[in-house]
Amino acid sequence: MGERLRKLGIRLAATRSTALFQLATELPAAILARTLGIHITVAVKWQRAAAGDWGAYAAEISHRDTHPGGQEPDPHGPR
């Protein structure tokens, strides 16, 4: 199968790396490692290389303004 794909111009190593890169941007390292059966440190390296730092993402989400327009709602309701 690999030979047929090469004849079609599909580079297996590049395709695999692209797929891993994409997964690393979408999944936390622990899930990536468990799903792919790779060591957690390898998953963390892939994630950092793909700039999919979930720790930074979680911190950024926790600091987001949850109110539209950046204003706290009026405790007395609309006037």
Question: Does the pLDDT at position 71 exceed 70?
Answer: no
Asked if 32 and 46 count as a contact pair (C-beta separation under 8 A), the reply is yes
Mean pLDDT of 42-53: 81
Mean pLDDT of 29-41: 92
Q: What is the pLDDT of residue 78?
A: 52
Asked if 55 and 48 count as a contact pair (C-beta separation under 8 A), the reply is no
Mean pLDDT of 57-70: 62
Between 8 and 58, residue with greater pLDDT: 8
Percent of the chain predicted with pLDDT > 90? 14
Would you list the DSSP string of 4-67? Answer: HHHHTT--HHHHHHHHHHHHHHHS-HHHHHHHHT--HHHHHHHHHHTT--HHHHHHHHHTS--S
